[in-house]
Amino acid sequence: MGSNAFAAPPLARSPALLPLALRPYAELVRMGFVDTLAYRLRYYTGIATYFIYVSVYYFIWKAIYEHGTSIEGFDFSQIMTYVAVGWIIRSLYFNNIDQDLATQVTEGTLVMNLIKPVNLQGALIATALGQSVFRLVMLTVPTTLLLFLVFPVRRPASLAHFAAFSVSVALSFFIVAALNFAVGTLAIRLLSILGLLRAKYFLLELLSGLLLPISFFPHGFQVALDFLPFQYISYVPLLIYLGKLSGGAAWRALGIQIFWVLALVALGHAMWQWSSRKITVQGG
Amino acid sequence: MAPLVEVRDLTKEFRSFKRREGVWGAVQNLFVREYVTVRAVDRVSFAIEAGEMVGYIGANGAGKSTTIKMLTGILMPTSGTVVAAGWVPYRDRRRYTRQIGVVFGQRTQLWWDIAVVESFKLLKEIYEISDADYRSRLGLFAEILNLGEYMHTPVRKLSLGERMRCDLAASLLHNPPLLFLDEPTIGLDVVAKERIREFLKEVNRSQRTTVLLTTHDLSDIEELSRRILIIDKGRILFDGDLAEMKKRLAQYNQVKFFLKDRSQIPRLAEVTTNGLGLERVDELTYLMRFDRAKHSSADVIRTLVNRLEIRDLFVEEEPIEEIVKRIYLSGEVA
Ligand SMILES: Nc1ncnc2c1ncn2[C@@H]1O[C@H](COP(=O)(O)OP(=O)(O)OP(=O)(O)O)[C@@H](O)[C@H]1O
Ligand SMILES: [Mg+2]
């Protein structure tokens, strides 16, 4: 072993250029992608599940629209597009960071992340991003093709709307990821948060606008939701897709999304700092 | 020069709430929580110089893992200080972790579902290891630890010993000056243990890597470290040279002898008359223990061969297991 294998001093660090500092996280994106390959079978059932969800909503909305042409400014083809595209983008922004973190806390595997010179928040979000990229190929694309073939789904309002919509969905991913991390850190102090996570899951489906456009909610409720990040996950990108948000309003919506990403990342970071001194590792 | 690791009055207390049993207990648990405080590590102090290899031993629950978790920056101490490689582990965790390698024998740092080599590639990016270093170190580890065949297998398909070797390689890819190993040989067969010990010796020799390892296998300690720390109920009972410990704490020597045949068995009573203890190993094999201060080996052997027909005999020092067992049981260094 006397060779020069260890010749370079371990401390020789290049100046912390941004791209270099980001390389571990880029690698984690790749790991997330590769890791998900092991479970690719899951995605065939995923496609079926999403198809079934959208079918159920199709029949419900069809029944509701039998006697009117427009509700809260949505006609039938718009509401169907809202539902179908809503589920399509859910397949992209969805992630399990909260559950991952909770499991890591209860199983003690969090230790293995703590002994690495990486930012845990960044690492978990990067890995989730890799998984989302994987789902884009395995789940989002086939689901999109299937839904567009079977249901009367509209195309985006315009190319510009589609571009803004794409950016908006990317931001949705980061809102959900940052939110999930912040919620996940609660596991450190509370230890068992599975009940909490279930509640959060359903609340998010409702408040994000996935199940129902926010404009269908009671007025007071809508006003309250304006001050919360949830509608920026699903409702806002869908409005852009449908052309109900354009120009200045669309730019403003994207700006608010960016604000929520930053605010939730900061919240998660603060919660991590606050909790990590309370870490008690189980077992070992 | 300051020691590489300096620990002073390190203490960790865990507060956990006492769960009452039964249905009524569960209801009570909801409203009144009674906390119990466990002091897992109690005012521990020691220092480790660069290049040392130190064995950290103690009975189950003594506080070894808790100490390691504080030394690696995972747990925040309740009180006391740690300075290692120039950092305060808990406070400077992210910078500090560049200086250390860690293996928890019971866990893995490798990604469970994907090929081992993918985890290595990730570590390369995390620690900013150059291509040349990465290739040569990996090549070397693969050779010494015989990793070749496993590197392209997902971790979940590896046996414990194979996984442990990969984990060890992973912990050293960035050539850290400081290595913490919590039970690195747990559950391994003799050959695998031997391979890991050789590897650690080699890294320690050629890189002056400082190693702190816990184990329940005392032969690990005898092979690897000259210095041992014994911890019991959170407190350090002994810190010093292994040879020194044997000299100071070994209370007896023993003669192991084999009788010529069964006809000798009734005559065994004759040799125990002058206060010498006898322990049966099997029908024809016995151990005679004697206080080193009171009897010389020559006298004991003379007594034995004069009174019994003996086929063979060996004089042995008290095995380290016995010394340590005595310490664990009595909770003090006599
Ligand atoms: N997270 C925790 N919460 C409460 N008590 C804990 C926790 N972790 C450890 N302890 C307690 O602290 C004590 C020391 O545990 P530790 O894991 O350090 O022992 P150890 O020396 O590593 O033992 P072993 O040889 O069995 O691995 C034990 O009594 C254990 O029950
Ligand atoms: Mg332990």
Q: A120: buried, middle or exposed (CB in 10 Å: 19+, 13-18, 0-12)? A: buried
H, E, C per residue of chain A: CCCHHHCCCCCCCCCCCHHHHHHHHHHHHHHHHHHHHCCCCHHHHHHHHHHHHHHHHHHHHHHHHHHCCEECCEEHHHHHHHHHHHHHHHHHHCCCHHHHHHHHHHHCCHHHHHCCCCCHHHHHHHHHHHHHHHHHHHHHHHHHHHHHHHCCCCCCCCHHHHHHHHHHHHHHHHHHHHHHHHHHHHHHHHCCCHHHHHHHHHHHHHHCCCCCCHHHCCHHHHHHHHCCCHHHCCHHHHHHHHCCCCHHHHHHHHHHHHHHHHHHHHHHHHHHHHHHCCCCCCCC
pLDDT number for residue A283 = 55
Nearest to A117 among B75, B126, B130 (CB): B126
- Low-confidence winner among A3-12, A148-157, A235-244 (lowest mean pLDDT): A3-12
Contacts for B205 with CB less than 8 Å, ≥ 6 apart: none
From CA A143, how far away is CA B286, in angstroms rounded?
A: 77
Identify the CATH assignment for B5-247 out of 3.30.300.30, 3.30.70.2190, 1.10.150.120, 3.40.50.300: 3.40.50.300
Instruction: Output the pLDDT for position A1.
Output: 35
Rounded distance from Cα B110 to ligand 1 centre (Å): 24
- Ordered by start, the domain boundaries in chain B are 5-247, 252-317
Higher pLDDT residue, A50 or A283? A50
pLDDT recorded at residue A18: 45
- pLDDT score at B136: 93
> Residue A24 corresponds to which amino acid?
P
CA of B306 to nearest chain A CA: how many angstroms apart? 54
What number does CATH give the domain B252-317? Answer: 3.30.70.260
Separation CA A9–CA B76 (nearest Å) = 29
Per-residue buried b or exposed e for B174-200, using 16+ beta carbons within 10 Å of the residue's own CB: bbbbbbbbbbbbbebeeebbebbbebb
Nearest CA in chain A to B107: A109
List the single residue in B74, B98, B202 with the smallest CB-CB distance to A279. Answer: B74
pLDDT at residue B326, rounded to an integer: 83
Portion 148-167 of B in contact with A at CB < 8 A: 154
pLDDT at A10 over 50: no
Task: Name the residue with the closest Cα to ligand 1, atom 16.
Answer: B63
Give the residues of chain B that fall short of pLDDT 50: none
At residue A207 the predicted structure's pLDDT band, cuts being 50, 70 and 90, is very high
List, for residues A105-119, the tens digit of each pLDDT value: 888 888 888 999 999
Angstrom distance (rounded) from CA A169 to CA B75: 38
Question: What residues form DSSP beta bridges with A74?
Answer: A71
B201 touches B132 (CB < 8 A): no
Q: What is the mean pLDDT of chain A?
A: 88
What is the model's pLDDT at position A14? Answer: 40
**Closest among B321, B318, B323, B333 to B218, alpha carbons compared:** B321
For residue A78, the model assigns a pLDDT of 94
> Is B114–A8 a contact, with Cβ atoms under 8 angstroms apart?
no
- How far is the alpha carbon of B75 from chain A, nearest alpha carbon, in Å? 6
> Does the beta-carbon distance from B74 to A111 stay under 8 Å?
yes
Q: Are residues B118 and A34, on separate chains, in Cβ contact within 8 Å? A: yes
List C-alpha distances in Å: B266 to A3, B263, B307, B311, B332.
Answer: 63, 7, 11, 16, 39
* Ligand 1 contact via B36 beta carbon (within 6 Å): no
pLDDT at A20: 63
Q: What is the DSSP letter of B225?
A: -
Measure CB to CB from residue A31 to each of B100, B122, B207 and give the nearest one. B122
User: How are beta strands B178-182 and B100-104 bridged, if at all?
Assistant: parallel
A280 lines ligand 1 (CB under 6 A): yes
Q: How far is CA B306 from CA B135, B267, B283, B289, in A?
A: 66, 11, 20, 18
Q: Which of A36, A116, A269 to mutate to test the interface with B (most CBs of B within 10 A)?
A: A116
Closest Cβ–Cβ partner in A31, A111, A118 for B104: A111
* Ion ligand 2 contact residues with beta carbon within 5 A: B 65
> Is pLDDT above 70 for A284?
no
Reported confidence tier of residue A260, pLDDT bands at 50, 70, 90: very high
The string of pLDDT tens digits covering residues A40-49 is: 777 888 899 9
Interface size A-B, in CB pairs within 8 Å, comes to: 110
In the structure encoding, which two tokens stand for residue A283, read together?
């077992």
Quickly tell me which residue has 């006298």 as its tokens: B299
Report d(CA A165, CA B131) in Å as an integer. 40
B107 touches chain A (CB under 8 A): yes
Q: Report chain A residues whose CB lies below 8 A from the CB of B139.
A: 5
What pLDDT does A281 receive?
A: 65
User: Do the beta carbons of residue B108 and residue B155 sit within 8 Å?
Assistant: yes
Q: Do A112 and B107 touch (CB under 8 A)?
A: yes
Give the per-residue pLDDT at A45. Answer: 86
ipTM over 0.95: no
From chain B, pick out residues whose CB is under 8 angstroms from the CB of A280. 14, 75
> Nearest C-alpha to atom 19 of ligand 1 is from which residue?
B61
CA of B226 to the centre of ligand 1 (A): 26
**How far apart are the CA of A283 and the centre of ligand 1, in A?**
7
Strands B285-291 and B277-282: antiparallel
> Could you write out the DSSP letters of every residue in B309-327?
-EEEEEEEEPPHHHHHHHH
Share of chain A above pLDDT 90, in %: 67
What's the pLDDT score for residue A101? 93
Tell me which residues of chain A have a C-beta less than 8 Å from any C-beta of chain B: 1-8, 10-11, 13-14, 20, 23-24, 26-28, 31, 34-35, 37-39, 108-109, 111-112, 114-119, 277, 279-281, 283-284
List strand residue ranges (DSSP E) for B34-118, in order. 34-48, 53-57, 79-84, 100-104
- Per CB-CB distance under 8 Å, the chain B contacts of A38 are 113-114, 154
Of B52, B147, B122, B64, the C-alpha closest to A28 is B122
- Cα separation, B108 vs B160, whole angstroms: 10
pLDDT at position B128: 93
pTM of the full structure: 0.86
Residue B14 bridge partners (DSSP): B38
Q: What is the pLDDT of residues A11-26, one digit of tens each?
A: 333 444 446 678 889 8
Rg, chain A, Cα only: 21
